[in-house]
Amino acid sequence: MTLQLFDSFSAAPRPDANRILGGFLLGDAPADAAPAWPMQRLVTPLLGVDRRGFEEAWVVPGDVPMLAGHAEGIAWRRCGDLLFGVIDLDEVQVAAKPPRSALHIASEMAYARIFRLLDAQGLPHLWRLWNYMADINGESDGLERYRQFNMGRAEAFEHAARSVVGRVPAACALGLAGGPLSIAFLASATPVIPIENPRQVSAFLYPSDYGPRPPTFSRAALAQTADQELVFVSGTASIVGHQTVHLGDVRAQTAESLDNIAAVLEAAKPHSRRGGFALPDLAYRVYVRDAADLAVVREVIAARVGGAPAVCVLADVCRSDLLVEIEAQGVR
Ligand code: 3EB
């Protein structure tokens, strides 16, 4: 099984719908009818391009049967041992049960549903998760909403008897102006190699200064199949140790984030069968808190990644002092 990444900024034509395992649509273009494949929509402006939409999709070979399903708010497709799904959960439909907020409960519920689906499909190994929610830095019930999400996520992992430290998937968690709690996921029958960053405290070991429960993700995941190696670099920000550095300085925050990605790639190298990945080998998604920072962010990234693709969107990063977050993936 080979996985390929399609994106709508490339010159290549979009592959046949029956070969798309799942994907993403970024941008604030009015929505067309939902496609046949699971697609996570990020309704937020694209930055620095003359386009209203950016589509990205994971493409599988045409000769392996595609299975699909839709239940409990999850749309998914499976091809061989790989499954891509999206769950959208409208938290206003979820009742708070003090002291647990609606977002806390919705997060726990969404992950519990994902874990049930993966158990039913016999594909327990999560590779990568993409988490989006409205108003991520907003506070309700005396706690920042990202911290509420972290509580629900950690509880779901525990209820499913999954580890919350060490072997955890790669992920990102961002805020958008509105919309549901939306979680996309890529899972498989085989585990990934989780990679940590020697420059950073593992997020799952963050001290309680950042909330009652630490985030459940690894800094990167290295996936090895018979004929491919894939790397998923989690959302990466200007954090050294466990602290935000370069307060208010978007240029330095961007450079520090890239230093962190480079360090993660370096840490992955000894595990690679193909010599690892370097910064120019990856495709980037960049979350910028303030559109006015775009030019600086793009300049710093371009200087380090060469011509590698990088799509920028407006989004809130999960600490209010972080101005930018960068994630990346690569296939070879
Ligand atoms: C950080 O390093 C920045 O909660 O899933 C990055 C990637 C971040 C994933 C998550 C959060 C998450 O803590 C924030």
Pocket lining for ligand 1, CB < 6 angstroms: 131, 171-173, 203, 215, 217, 234-235, 237, 239, 318
Please tell me the predicted confidence (pLDDT) of residue 32. Answer: 83
To the query of whether residue 325 is one of the catalytic residues in this protein, the response is: yes
Q: Tell me the residue type at 97.
A: K
What range does the domain containing 135 cover?
Answer: 4-331
Report d(CA 24, CA 316) in Å as an integer.
Answer: 18
Q: Which residues contact 332 (CB under 8 A, 6 or more apart)?
A: 228, 229, 230, 274, 277, 281
Residue 258: pLDDT above 90?
yes
Report d(CA 188, CA 186) in Å as an integer.
Answer: 7
Report d(CA 38, CA 76) in Å as an integer.
Answer: 6
The CB density around residue 191, as the number of other CB atoms within 10 Å, is 15
* CATH assignment of the domain containing 48: 3.30.1330.40
Residue 142: pLDDT above 90?
yes
How far is residue 60 CA from its own chain's centroid?
A: 20
Q: Which residues contact 278 (CB under 8 A, 6 or more apart)?
A: 265
Reported as a single tens digit per residue, the pLDDT across 167-218 is 999 999 999 999 999 999 999 999 999 999 999 999 999 999 999 999 999 9
How far is residue 313 CA from its own chain's centroid?
A: 14
Q: Which two tokens stand for residue 126?
A: 């999560």
> What's the predicted TM-score (pTM) here?
0.98
Q: 71 CA distance to ligand 1 centroid (A)?
A: 28
| Domain count of the fold of the chain | 1
- Tokens 């910028």, located at residue: 288
